[in-house]
Amino acid sequence: MHKNDIWVVCDRLNDCGHGHLKQIISKASQLAGEDNRQVSVICIGSFRVEQLVELGVYGADKIIFCLQEDCLDEIGFANVLAEVICNEKPKLIMYPASPFGKAVAAYCSARFEAGIVVNCINIEKNNEGILVFTSMDDSHFVIAKIVFTDSEIQMCTVRNDVFVIKETRLQYEPVIDRKIVTNVKGNNPIITEVLGNEPIVENDDFNRLTTAKLIFAFGRGIENEKNVELLKRIAKKYKAQLVGTRAVVEDGLISRTLQVGQSGTSVAPDIYVGYGISGAIQHVAGIKDSKLIIAVNKNENAQIFRYSDIAIVGDAINILLELDKL
């Protein structure tokens, strides 16, 4: 790896196969080809081998895989990423313009005193061969063209659906640089190299989540451990996979490996049932591909109802107690 590489940061801890990331890799591959650079994709979290290998089809030459089985918040993720970038300092780092990706990009930009362009909708070269970043604000009315004049590392966040996914190299296998991350709660995580012949650890929770046909999810409306035990019993009864929002993960009510949402795992079951979930956009982003979304909430104005196929206004605990009687 050298300092002219283009890096693309995966913004999800358990899903590196989403379309937004592939769009950015495809664009990075185009830019890299113009200057004979390489594209490296940084994946921090817990991933399946076939997910990582697939990224080579879209233009990734190298995958830097940092195994971290716990779901990190934005600062924890950024601290791990900063350790990876620290000695390399690539020329350009591209992040998805998701809420999570933007927060990580802002942190790393400040830490490395790097220039950053947010909400990019295009990147191209001018007549002098310098990258020109086109940015659009959230109102969609203001468009600016930006050129870096004095920045060792350039960073940008890229809007979704502005670049086309291109399968440039069918069945191409990128180099996978494997690492294990420890001490993630500190400001300087420890990153240990893993020998090439050592296996990548698979995440059983992730595999169950991504293959589940029926998912029961819960938020803070479930309130306490006693009610969680009730929900677990009912989920087992109906052979449903139980998951939680980031809020209940932070409350210690469910494992981080079972977190669904922007900073957790994305799921696509036949049926998703949410109990006591308000419907924060970060969680909705992880369930949008579900075939049928059913939501239970006593607040008739709960945001999750906007995304539900079936909305049930009622106390989630009372409904669970009735289900337990059946």
Q: Which tokens belong to 188?
A: 């300087």
Flag whether 1 is in a domain. Answer: no
Residues 182 and 248 in one domain: no
Residues 193 and 238 in one domain: no
Residues 29 and 11 in one domain: yes
Residues 99 and 231 in one domain: no
Residue 181: CATH number of its domain: 3.40.50.620
Identify the pLDDT of residue 1: 45
Residues 290 and 153 in one domain: no
Tell me the pTM.
0.68
Structurally, how many domains does the chain consist of? 2
Q: 109-161 pLDDT, tens per residue?
A: 999 988 899 999 999 988 888 899 999 877 667 788 999 888 889 999 999 99
Interatomic CA distance for residues 9 and 13, integer angstroms: 11
The DSSP result for 201-227, as a single string, is: PP-HHHHHHHH-SEEEEE-GGG-SHHH
Flag whether 141 is in a domain. Answer: yes
Residues 108 and 177 in one domain: yes
Q: Is the dihedral of CA 261, 267, 80, 88 positive or negative?
A: negative
Residues 216 and 191 in one domain: no
Residue 320: CATH number of its domain: 3.40.50.1220
Q: 47-94 pLDDT, tens per residue?
A: 878 888 899 999 999 999 988 876 678 888 999 999 899 877 788 999
* Residue 169: domain span: 6-201
